[in-house]
Structure 1
């Protein structure tokens, strides 16, 4: 028996499609109005913890995905807990969506960040948070995104995710992780390590091992032999033979292999371990600088959110001073009237 994942050459990524790069940059620059450089830097760390399904979309696309998932689950939970007939008209997000409301954007962005920090799937994160809160006390409302970080909710989310990993969500079936698309990206390497680690926890270890090698092609045979030994690997492949049809060979376009941290509008630390190992790092440096320059040109700053906060502070201070001056002027005029009357 031969394995399609045993001797495939490492794929070489060429220059990414400029149309794709422009579309991704436009979305990132649009979001930059709400962000700080520290938020973008945090995304480089989150790229290493988020669930593997989200590692090849930008943080902005991931947040939009999170909003859509939250909206769907919000209506489902409302139907189950409160009123079925009204569920379809309930909104889990403010009118106009996240792009027309800074507070809403921040609330959903931060909740998505928390889900990525925990490394869980967004649907599991939202539904488990809502279910936990409903069990905690009788509530007339479901949790908003900014309310999903209480201690009992976090504990419940982690426990639920461990159950999912032991079940059907033990790996990602995205074609990005299959042998024909393997190009030594850090996230692809991390997924192989995740598969090997999770396999040890599965009750049907042998079949899962065989499926991961020959059916899903996410773990090469030589790597599996290094970890588990040739005898175990051969037995696993025999047991899994014929159980499922192999996943289709799908060589995806190069641009779809751009990781979530690619092209963010902050300087790239090429000395970091992740960037040193990433074959797309040279292109990322150029695209990130371009996105940063576009943000500065559009907003006049590399930190438009901080500028917005400072502007609001100045407005509040000015309103307070104007109000105080009017109050003082009113007192003086009243005193002057009393003096004339006397």
Structure 2
């Protein structure tokens, strides 16, 4: 079971509880039918989260939910009060009545493969726009979001557009080419970033960025997946700078 908490994700409540405590909390609070879903999500969730214990991932997700909730409150309800608003009475999600709703929503986002901050910011923005249209303002709870098929479809479109616009780079340094060790997560990310680059009309610029700006793709992999001219042009652009 993965148990790493990448420091690049920053400190957040619950980030330092450790594998043993995560296991105890998970078995004590999460039904078996939900726990059984987790192994499959390790293949679909955003790459930064694949080394996290599911309980650690829920705490991380909760921190992004809280940030997006405050932004919704700022835009739709009361900008002055927003910094002091919390979505739950307790900062510890596992002690709240909505703990399973948070867990399920996090699983939905992991199935979609999106970064938590991207999903939550777009989901709350979607609800804010709906509230203004309907003149009925209310802050969405996790169960509202996870069961709203229209929202999920719209945010998925947003994510697909985001993938077309810019390369998606993990925060964790384990995906930098200098730290490549052949781990399945690293190989999966290389497949992902290569796919992004190949979808570009002019892949040279994206290839150069992946190789030398973000340093998330090995030159060996680039040679395997791109023609010699594209690789040569990407290298030449760096030499000209």
TM-score by length of 1: 0.60
Does structure 1 conserve the Cα–Cα contact (< 8 Å) formed by 2:169 and 2:214?
no
Deviations 1:126-157 (A, max 9, x none): 22222222333333211111111312101111
Partners in 2 of 1:143 and 1:105 — Cα distance?
Answer: 15
Is 1:109 aligned with 2:103?
yes
Is 1:69 aligned with 2:64?
yes
Structure-2 residue corresponding to 1:146: 143
Deviates more, 1:81-90 or 1:183-192: 81-90
Q: Report the CA distance shift for 1:141/1:207 in structure 2 as closer, same or farther (over 3 A).
A: same
Partners in 2 of 1:106 and 1:169 — Cα distance?
Answer: 33
Structure 2 gap segments, 5+ residues each: 5-16
User: Match of 1:33, SS?
Assistant: helix
Is 1:185 aligned with 2:183?
yes
Partners in 1 of 2:40 and 2:236 — Cα distance?
Answer: 40
Is 1:197 aligned with 2:195?
yes
Structure 1 gap segments, 5+ residues each: 1-15, 17-21, 244-342
Is 1:163 aligned with 2:156?
no
Structure-1 residue corresponding to 2:172: 174
Does structure 2 conserve the Cα–Cα contact (< 8 Å) formed by 1:210 and 1:238?
no
Is 1:223 aligned with 2:202?
no
Residue 202 of structure 1, CA deviation: 3.4
Deviations 1:153-172 (A, max 9, x none): 01111111122223345232
Q: Which residue of 16, 31, 38 maps to 2:33? A: 38
Structure-2 residue corresponding to 1:58: 53
Residue 203 of structure 1, CA deviation: 5.3
Residue 41 of structure 1, CA deviation: 2.7
Structure-2 residue corresponding to 1:81: 76
Partners in 2 of 1:32 and 1:169 — Cα distance?
Answer: 37
Q: Report the CA distance shift for 1:241/1:40 in structure 2 as closer, same or farther (over 3 A).
A: farther
TM-score by length of 2: 0.83
Residue 241 of structure 1, CA deviation: 4.2
Does structure 2 conserve the Cα–Cα contact (< 8 Å) formed by 1:211 and 1:240?
no
Does structure 1 conserve the Cα–Cα contact (< 8 Å) formed by 2:204 and 2:233?
yes
Give 1 or 2 for the bigger CA radius of gyration.
Answer: 1
User: Match of 1:142, SS?
Assistant: coil
Aligned length: 222
Say which structure, 1 or 2, has more relative contact order (CA 8 Å, 6+ apart): 1
Partners in 1 of 2:141 and 2:156 — Cα distance?
Answer: 19
User: Match of 2:45, SS?
Assistant: coil
Does structure 1 conserve the Cα–Cα contact (< 8 Å) formed by 2:167 and 2:196?
no
